[in-house]
Amino acid sequence: MDYKERYQQWLDSGDIDAASKDELRAIAGDEKEIQDRFYTELEFGTAGLRGVIGAGTNRMNEYTVRKATQGLANYILKVGGSSRGVAIAYDSRHMSPEFADVAALCLAANGIKAYVFESLRPTPELSYAVRRLGAIAGINITASHNPPEYNGYKVYWEDGAQITPPHDGGIMEEVKKITDYAVCKKMDKAEAEAKGLYRVIGADIDDPYIAELKKLVVHQDAIDAVGKDLKVVYSPLHGTGNIPVRRVLKELGFTQVYVVPEQEKPDGDFPTVSYPNPEAAEAFALGLALAKEVDADLVLATDPDADRLGVYVKDGSMGEYHCLTGNMSGCLIGDYLIGQKKEREGLPSDGAFIRSIVSTNMADAIAGYYGIELVEVLTGFKFIGQKILEFEKTGKGTYLFGMEESYGCLPGTYARDKDAVAATMALCEAAAYYKTKGMTLWDAMIGMYERYGYYKDSILSVTLKGMEGIAKIGAVMQALRQKPPEKIGAYRVTAVRDYQKDTITETASGEVRPTGLPASNVLYYELTDDAWVCVRPSGTEPKIKFYFGIRGASLEDADAKEEEMRGAVDALVQELL
């Protein structure tokens, strides 16, 4: 069946609601739009669903959400987990509450209890809720930092991490088996509530979640000493972070927290930014203006589902605000927590710092300095969660900290996804601790550079939408596999990692060894002078991403080398495209 036939099928179907049909009739003369909506099914991948909201098989709507949930329900029934229930959270995006109920009532119709948050909650709290409730799975309705027209559907398993093998494959298989939306079950909400299959949750999860975060505090003495003096500007970027972030900071003793008023309230249109990403400079325009008014020590912003944290810190000597990348803030938090743990109680002999393969090599230097293991995992925080579970099951390995370059980290094991609420708390605590030493967070960052090396890491993303874009991304990866570069800029390629083939090939000797990680469509080039480049298609956006990192001898040298590397990577991209 081609896209035109699918389009007509939706118009003729008695199972599709009138509003969706009206939406589809409105595009009757737009061949390209019809094709984009119906040329494929919105794919249920290893991260769940993510797409533009609207009518069509390639869109986020009640039918694609219900289909995904029916597949999940079938898998839960198959593995005998129906009695344990599923926790469901959602963010501030358009249709998030509605999609949460669609999922909950599909589960209920399959005899599986749904625990649904009373209102929007952060992603990490959903991860915590799965574990707290002893649920078999979790669903989070969110598209993270994507533009306003998007929404998504993430699935978590009983350990609180997003699904990994074998469960991801098992659930995907069940979803693919469903070829008719009519077989997807649904139930009236009142009936589900009456049967005890729809339960609202809220403070019963909020309170213990916040309590778990507060257990991570190392230096309450420092907060007691200077918390009232530390000035923090914070923006939830119209998302879920506002209440939990303000609550935990207040309860710890940070009294001067200034919330950016224009970005405080939940709003799925994200009216103050083109897209709500704390990695983007525009997200901080209002926060930095407020910071200058109140003379803030640091400026923080969380993305809509509050799993990513963006940071600016003030340079005490210059009075300027410096942006910290996710690599910088992650290493700053990790170095602080690991260093303080070593000083106060010592480190376990099997302690581990976990990072994704596209994160900074500074993490390796930190692990080496403290004599702990550096563990690499594939991109996606679920793989860090998977490693924590492995540590618990085998009794080998003690999790100390985990991070990925995309502005996410986790300072404890109470949850199994990155947590910007906890990261905000940890960074504010670190700021208070360093303040008692007469230092700013920027001073601490410079101290890390001097100790470990001036690492600088960045990313170049290329957006390629639609069918043509998917084909082009595939062609780029194929071209790189057929003819790997011998040099990138001034750096010679010393080894090529192909995670799809599970090979690491030394360029000088030709020696080949396994990566030791699951198969993934990723290419990684180890370069001279501790530099590197990694290429991977995004799993959540129509992009191909080129990550890279260098090490300099000073800030100025690192800046210059980063610019040179960016130019070299850009030249490679132009050659490939």
What confidence score (pLDDT) does residue 161 get? 96
Residue 504 has pLDDT above 80, yes or no: yes
What confidence score (pLDDT) does residue 60 get? 98
What confidence category does residue 470 fall into, taking pLDDT thresholds of 50, 70 and 90?
A: confident
Q: What is the pTM of this model?
A: 0.94
What confidence score (pLDDT) does residue 465 get? 79
HEC readout, 275-304: CCCCCCHHHHHHHHHHHHHHCCCEEEEECC
Residue 46 has pLDDT above 80, yes or no: no
How many Cβ atoms from other residues are within 10 Å of residue 59's Cβ? 20
List the beta strands (DSSP E) in 303-453: 309-314, 321-324, 351-356, 373-377, 398-404, 408-410
Residue 451 has pLDDT above 90, yes or no: yes
Active-site annotation holder among 20, 92, 96, 144? 144
Alpha-carbon Rg for the chain, nearest whole angstrom, is 24
Least Cα distance to 104 among 11, 193, 226, 207 occurs for 193
User: DSSP secondary-structure letter at 236?
Assistant: -
Q: Are 336 and 366 in contact (CB under 8 A)?
A: no
Q: How many whole angstroms separate alpha carbon 575 and alpha carbon 104?
A: 48
Least Cα distance to 106 among 133, 123, 86 occurs for 86
What confidence score (pLDDT) does residue 467 get? 73
* Residue 350 exposure: Cα atoms within 13 Å on the Cβ side: 9
Residue 296 has pLDDT above 90, yes or no: yes
Burial of 517 (C-beta count, 10 Å sphere; 0-12/13-18/19+): middle
What are the tokens at 48? 């769940």
User: DSSP secondary-structure letter at 110?
Assistant: T
Phi-psi region of 502 (alpha: psi -120 to 50; beta: other; left: phi over 0): left
Identify the three-state secondary structure at position 123. helix
CB contact set of 18 (below 8 Å; sequence gap of 6+):
none
Q: Mean pLDDT throughout 60-69?
A: 98
How many Cβ atoms from other residues are within 10 Å of residue 571's Cβ? 12
Identify the three-state secondary structure at position 540. coil
What are the tokens at 569? 């990577």
What confidence category does residue 542 fall into, taking pLDDT thresholds of 50, 70 and 90?
A: confident
Q: Mean pLDDT throughout 330-358?
A: 97
- Element (H or E) spanning 114, and its range? strand 114-117
At 320, the amino acid letter reads E
What confidence score (pLDDT) does residue 576 get? 87
Q: Mean pLDDT throughout 28-53?
A: 92
Least Cα distance to 110 among 158, 60, 71, 65 occurs for 71
Q: How many whole angstroms separate alpha carbon 33 and alpha carbon 24?
A: 10
- Residues 74-113 have pLDDT tens digits of 999 999 999 999 999 999 999 999 999 999 999 999 999 9
What percentage of the chain exceeds 70 in pLDDT?
99
What percentage of the chain exceeds 90 in pLDDT?
92
439 to 111, 226, 268, 423, 454: CA distances (angstroms): 57, 12, 39, 20, 19
What confidence category does residue 577 fall into, taking pLDDT thresholds of 50, 70 and 90?
A: confident
Residue 468 has pLDDT above 90, yes or no: no
Domains along the sequence of the chain with CATH: 40-201 (3.40.120.10), 454-576 (3.30.310.50)
What confidence score (pLDDT) does residue 540 get? 64
Q: What is the mean pLDDT of the chain?
A: 96
Apex 123 CA angle, 280 and 85, nearest 5? 160
Least Cα distance to 483 among 575, 568, 569 occurs for 575
Residue 338 has pLDDT above 90, yes or no: yes
Residue 295 has pLDDT above 70, yes or no: yes
What are the tokens at 493? 């390629």
Residue 203 has pLDDT above 80, yes or no: yes
Tell me the residue length of the chain.
Answer: 577
What confidence score (pLDDT) does residue 464 get? 81
What confidence category does residue 463 fall into, taking pLDDT thresholds of 50, 70 and 90?
A: confident
Residue 363 has pLDDT above 80, yes or no: yes
What are the tokens at 539? 């799993």
- Element (H or E) spanning 173, and its range? helix 167-177
554 is catalytic: no
What confidence category does residue 334 fall into, taking pLDDT thresholds of 50, 70 and 90?
A: very high
At 460, the amino acid letter reads L
User: DSSP secondary-structure letter at 530?
Assistant: G
| More confident site: 471 or 333 | 333
Q: How many whole angstroms separate alpha carbon 311 and alpha carbon 293?
A: 18
Q: Mean pLDDT throughout 307-312?
A: 98
What confidence score (pLDDT) does residue 352 get? 98
